[in-house]
Every structure is written in structure tokens, then in C-alpha cells.
Amino acid sequence: MRIYPLVFKHVFAKMDPEKAHHFAFDAIKIAQRVGLTKAARKFFAPAPKLKRTVMGIDFPSPFGLAAGFDKGATGIMALSDIGFGHVEIGTVTGQAQPGNPQPRLFRLVEDRAVINRMGFNNEGAEVVAARVAQARQQLKSDYAANRPVVGVNIGKTKVVELGDAVGDYLASTRQLAIHADYLVVNVSSPNTPGLRLLQSVETLRPLLTEVGELADHVAGRHVPLLVKIAPDLNDEDIADVAKLATELELDGIIATNTTIGREGLKSSAAMVEKIGAGGLSGAPLKQRSLEVLRQLRALVPSEMAIIAVGGVTDAQDVKARLDAGANLVQGYTAFLYEGPFWARSINRALEQML
């Protein structure tokens, strides 16, 4: 009998979603601090056969945690200990910011989905960078060559004008690149006004070029660089991004972020309308995310990594993304519904499938 679904139904489902998230995440971090997750690492650890090398980096498992869960890099060790092959922290901005007013996180339980308009709430690149540095050192000490990977996702500070966006991303890069196993430029969240306009090739080219050059310079090594795109791009725009990524020799693309669409939901239209604006994630995004993945895989070189995310619930979903050409797969929303044994269950099932 699985315990967590009962805990979710009788405890977390009755709490404000953002408070429930902090409560559950704090519990995982407390377990790490008192040594419980370290003691249970063998129980949670991915099998050696799941290890793969992507972008020149060794990942213990193809399955990792997407950006958005650990925005401030406060739980990298705890999340690594419970089985995620990589943890992508952020989104981090150049300046600290509180994000959008609450409430800003909403569950669609019937759809196994979430709508959020968090707005990149975080403590800023300088504060987060110190935490990432400390966590990576501890991972190296505890895990040696088989350590989980740490990705860093950066975005635009809300108060910064679009015309000054490149400088803002560079401020984050200057602080964070040296500590990142890989770096992600997020231009696809719907919750920062105007951000998605940066997905146009004309604005994306100088942004990615300058971030990539600075990242390698400050780190003294090549820092794999990826761009994260929205599922709402049309086929022509996806092709343009793929062409640009190929031209710039990016290391990868993350497909996809949350959607502003609301099609095909089981939840009542009145409920969805009352929630209002925000990015939808979870099971309803599964098909579109898979479609974008297939389009990208057909358009970019085989050596370019694609990290698939959106609507991933179980090992079958992970394997479907790998079969469709993804090199790595991420999840997030299902973690809220499935609980702390989620990564372990996916890794165990993948071990059998692969």
C-alpha cells in the first residue's frame, strides 16, 4: 500500500498549494540534515546500468528534476539523495525578487496538473551561487565520480527592461556559471511580462552568444549551454530555434516549459477561469511536449542534447521520451502528486525496461 497518496489526499490537498510545497520540501531537507537520506542512499540510488554521458557529463540516471521545484538551491543534496540523476535549480535572476502576489500556485487535481504564476521568486544570483558551490562540493565529496548533476536555470529580472535583458542574464552568468554543470537560458516562462518575446531569433541570438562566451570565460572551462523553449511555439518558430541552436552550436535544448493553453482539461471551465493566468504543467502537457521533442530531434544534429520535460508521470513516459530522441528527461509536477519515492520508482522501472 502506498502511503503518500493518502497523505496528499488528507493533508496536502487541504493546504494552500504553495504552503504544502514548502512543508513537503522542508521535510525532505530536514531528513537530509539529520542524516536519513544519506543513510538511505543505496535504497534510492539509480542502478549503474542507467548511467549515461550527455554533453560530456556523466549522469547517474536519465531522469532528473526540472527547474522550479528548488528555486533557491536550498535542497540539492536532499533531492540528489532521493534518486534524481540531476537537479536543475532556479529559475534564478540577476536581482532578488519576491515574485508575483499570492495566491500564485493552483492544483488541478483531476487533471494531475498545476497552474502557476510564481514569477521567478528567488534571492538573486549572488546568494544562490554560494549555495550551489557548497552543494556541488558536498556532492563531489559524498558521491565522487558517480555524483548527481547540478544544472542552473537563469531568467530575466522582472524590473529589467527587455532592452537590457542581455546584461541581466550576464549578471547571473557571471555569478553562477563557474558552479554549474550546465547552464540553461530560460526565455519561455509565461509569468514574466515580455519574456517570451526573447524566443524570437533576432533577440535570442545575441543573448545566447554572449551568455555562452561569458560562461566559459568565468568558469575557465566549457559550460554546456541550453535554451528552454515554450510548448506554445508554432512549427515555424520551433524550426527557427532549432536552426539557431545548430548555428550557435548550443549543447542542447530543453523542451518544454509550461503552456498558456487550457485545452482538454477535465477540471471545470469555471474553476480554471477563476484561477486565471499562469503556466499549466503536468499530465495535460504530455502530448504537446512529445510533439515538440520529435520535431526538434528531426531538426537538430544527433550530437545536440534534448532534455524532454512536460507531462512526465511514470517510467513509461520517460521511456517514450528517450525512444523519441531525448537524451535526458525531467519531471516536476508529478512529484507533487507522487511524493518522495517518485524518482526511485521511475529508476527501478527504467532499469527493467532498458
Q: SS in 3 state form for 107-162?
A: EEHHHCEEEECCCCCECCHHHHHHHHHHHHHHHHHHHHHHCCEEEEEECCCCCCCH
Terminal-to-terminal C-alpha distance of the chain: 26
Query: Beta-carbon neighbour count of residue 10 at 10 Å?
Result: 9
**Is 333 marked as binding a ligand?**
yes
- All three cell numbers of 257: 516549459
Q: Is 209 labeled as ligand-binding? A: no
332 annotated as a binding-site residue = yes
Residue 310 annotated as binding? no
Q: Return the C-alpha cell found at 242.
A: 532549432
How are beta strands 279-282 and 225-229 bridged, if at all? unpaired
Contact 191, 278 (CB under 8 A): yes
83 annotated to bind ligand: no
67 annotated as belonging to a binding site for a ligand: yes
Backbone angles phi, psi at 209, to 5 degrees: -60, -50
Task: Reply yes or no on whether 268 is catalytic.
Answer: no
Is 146 annotated to bind ligand?
no
Helix, strand or coil, per DSSP, at residue 212: helix
> Would you say 186 is a known binding-site residue?
yes
Q: How far is CA 322 from each of CA 53, 62, 97, 325, rounded to the nearest angstrom?
A: 14, 9, 36, 5
Host H or E run for residue 108: strand 105-108
CA–CA gap between residue 20 and residue 339 (Å, rounded):
12
With CA atoms as reference, report the closest residue to 147 among 46, 254, 25, 252. Answer: 46
On whether 121 is known to bind a ligand per the annotation, the reply is: no
- The helix or strand, by DSSP H or E, that contains position 113, with its residue range, turns out to be strand 113-116
DSSP 8-state secondary structure symbol assigned to residue 266: S
Tell me if 68 is assigned to a ligand binding site.
yes
Q: For residue 122, say whether it is annotated as part of any ligand binding site.
A: no
Before 190, cis peptide (omega within 30)?
no
How far is 105 from 16, CA to CA, in rounded Å?
A: 8
Q: 6 is written with which cell numbers? A: 493518502
Q: Which of 61, 172, 188, 189 is catalytic?
A: 189
* 118 carries a ligand binding annotation: yes
- The verdict on whether residue 341 carries a ligand-binding annotation is no
* 53 annotated to a ligand binding site: no
Whether 153 has a binding-site annotation, put simply, is yes
43 is known to lie in a ligand binding site: no
Please report which helix (H) or strand (E) contains residue 315, including its range. helix 315-323
- Alpha-carbon span 114 to 119, nearest angstrom: 15
> Cell 544534429 sits at which residue?
301
- Mind telling me the catalytic residues? 189
Residues at the annotated binding site?
67-71, 91, 116-120, 153, 186, 191, 228, 256-258, 282, 311, 332-333
Residues at the annotated binding site for FMN?
67-71, 91, 153, 186, 228, 256, 282, 311, 332-333
Residues at the annotated binding site for substrate?
71, 116-120, 186, 191, 257-258
